[in-house]
């Protein structure tokens, strides 16, 4: 079934490409190309980006957890500003929303404001996490997708779906075509963190998991044609 509104989660590390840090412009432009095709087909797209290409959480006991998480929030803002600009260069209209003021660099989030931007055909970036420590970007995209009445969360990952064990370690790992969110929780498969998983379960928010490196994987998933794993909630 074709999606009307989707929320796409991108990892910061994926955007860094082979460099593992910063940005790989070719990778970001390929994401932009696929998103543009979906927007032109009428799909409304919200995007959440992790901050792992800049910051991987607290690396020293000298740094307070709250401060470490705040650095991570700001890393996601930097990522969204960069990716948004590449999207604009590719011919899309974009806007960045944050849960806290960032001067004139972003707009303060509200559901009404986000819906206004979607109605204008904009790709909307949700940066800055939830604005609170102890919540990951998994929780951010789940919260935003639920609040904004999305049809599905799309998770573009380094692997091509959900497996019963780590395929990098176990060559006999089994890939699921479909799996329920309850099974994901029970089997501790960590598609997203536990907080996000529970929110998906309670609010019946499905997820599609696929490889970022698959040709047209993003565009296909946005059109409801996912070759990865569908995480169901019924």
End-to-end CA distance of the chain: 16
Average pLDDT over residues 84-105: 97
169-185 per-position pLDDT tens digit: 998 999 999 999 999 99
pLDDT tens figures, 150-168:
999 999 988 899 999 988 8
Q: pLDDT band for 2, please (50, 70, 90 cuts).
A: low
Q: Which residues touch 9 (CB under 8 Å, ≥6 apart)?
A: 47, 48, 49, 50, 137, 138, 141, 153, 154, 155, 156
pLDDT for position 1: 54
Q: What is the pTM of this model?
A: 0.94
Model pLDDT for residues 133-152, shown as the tens digit of each residue: 999 999 999 999 999 999 99
Element (H, E) at 26: helix 25-40
pLDDT of residue 196: 97
Which ranges in 59-193 belong to alpha helices (H)? Answer: 65-89, 111-119, 137-147, 181-186
- CA 157 to CA 172: how far, in whole Å? 20
């Amino acid at each position: 079934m074709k999606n009307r509104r989707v929320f796409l989660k991108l990892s910061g590390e994926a955007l860094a490409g082979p460099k593992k840090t910063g940005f790989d412009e070719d990778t970001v432009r390929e994401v932009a190309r696929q998103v543009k095709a979906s927007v032109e087909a009428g799909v409304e797209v919200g995007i959440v980006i992790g901050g792992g290409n800049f910051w991987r959480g607290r690396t020293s006991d000298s740094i307070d957890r709250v401060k470490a998480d705040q650095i991570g929030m700001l890393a996601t803002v930097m990522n969204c500003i960069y990716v948004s600009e590449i999207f604009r260069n590719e011919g899309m209209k974009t806007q960045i929303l944050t849960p806290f003021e960032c001067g004139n660099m972003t707009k303060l989030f509200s559901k009404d404001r986000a819906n206004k931007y979607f109605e204008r055909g904009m790709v909307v970036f949700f940066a800055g996490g939830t604005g609170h420590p102890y919540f990951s970007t998994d929780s951010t995209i789940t919260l935003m997708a639920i609040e904004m009445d999305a049809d599905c969360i799309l998770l573009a990952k380094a692997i091509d779906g959900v497996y019963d064990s780590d395929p990098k370690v176990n060559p006999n790992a089994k890939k699921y075509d479909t799996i329920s969110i309850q099974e994901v929780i029970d089997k501790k498969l960590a598609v997203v963190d536990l907080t996000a998983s529970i929110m998906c379960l309670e609010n019946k928010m499905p997820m599609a998991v696929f490889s970022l490196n698959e040709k047209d994987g993003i565009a296909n998933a946005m059109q409801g044609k996912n070759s990865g794993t569908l995480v169901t909630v019924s």
